[in-house]
Amino acid sequence: MPRQAAHLRGGHQLALLEGSREFFPALVSAMDAARHTVQLETYIFDFTGAGAQVGEALVRAAQRGVRTQVVVDGLGTDEPSAEWRMRLELAGVRWRVFSPVKLWGLLLPTRWRRLHRKLCVVDGTLAFCGGINILDDFHDPSYGVLDAPRFDFAVQVTGPLVAQIAATMDVLWQRLQAVRDLRQHDLHDAVNILLSPKSWPVPVATDFVATSAGTTSAALVLRDNLRSRMRIEAAYLRAIAGAQHEIIIANAYFVPGFRLRKALVAAAQRGGRVRLLLQGRYEYFMQYYAARPVYGVLLGAGVEIFEYAPSFLHAKVAVIDGHWATVGSSNLDPLSLLLAREANVVVSDSSFAASLHGRLHRAMEEEGRPMDPAQYASRPVRQRAMEYVAMLVMRLMLRVSGKRY
């Protein structure tokens, strides 16, 4: 059993949010009520459609004098338009880019490490965590207008966890600020930031401002390239190892390593029902085809696999035995588990788990295509060849980056 476990703490209130149609109104409402600070991190910030509503809320907050900080990923987010750059700058929104990438930069394995977290904290009292980018549910930067909304989740949190989320965001902000000062040759400020006690320790909840008391137990589980390299995978493995009745996992890019495959097979062989809701529409070559070679072992053990068909599945969530649940940004593939900065909230609460369970059950039964083991076994040679190529490319990338999976 994994040594690293999520430390659950009580005193939280949580609300499950599905898609940008639920997430954005909650986020905008919180920003419009902000009095002191707004901290936002996202992999993609796209101002198309509903994404502009979040941009407008950031501008309004900054214009009121709220300290407004945004961090986006240098690969996931394109440069904002000239109009939006001017609006954000004039309003006073502080905008930073994590690991900016030029085309040649992608040749360096260190540049494959991305900021994939989706986090927001408002006034140190309310937080959001999940898999939803600042991206309209019906818009995709690569595929245009979608026929159905993207399937994804976030969670709104109040309680002690908020301070921990704010602290980890502050650590990243300070480091990005230090790098910015170094590039501007402001060595004095950069050294002060890097030597500051706030810049290096593992974030801990220290200054949560109490709001209404909650009863739910929850934990923040982070993944980075320093002291938290295996914690998200360990949280999954521990929960799966203890499962007695049912496991439901919805994951966009599902390429589980040996330990995770073994744990799911063992759970099914113990007599538990194991169901996976996975991506059913082609999005990216490597993630789509590299997942399929592992399906045979899982199907053979009795694991049920459903492919989500109406739109892109972007969720990274799970429910186990009706009380353990997680919502976050981490896919169960090597790019997320070994290279990207990720954040998941783990919850122990039967009411919250039931809400997520209901939405996933409906998606599987009404919108998922069940995978037939016999049909999978007889898939065409051409498809098998593409799966082999995708898996080979993924393994080559991991070998170049120095990671094992």
Q: Is 188 a known active-site residue?
A: no
Q: Which of 73, 136, 137, 314 is catalytic?
A: 314
Query: Which of 139, 316, 333, 349 is an active site residue?
Result: 316
Work out the widest C-alpha separation in the chain, in whole angstroms.
66
Pick the catalytic residue: 73, 123, 333, 349? Answer: 123
- Choice among 116, 137, 152, 224 that is catalytic: 116
Let me know if 316 is a catalytic residue: yes
Would residue 116 show up in a list of annotated catalytic residues for this protein?
yes
Told to judge if 361 belongs to the known catalytic residues of this protein, a careful annotator would answer no
36 given a catalytic annotation: no
Q: Which of 321, 323, 357, 361 is catalytic?
A: 321
Catalytic residues, by residue number, are 116, 118, 123, 314, 316, 321
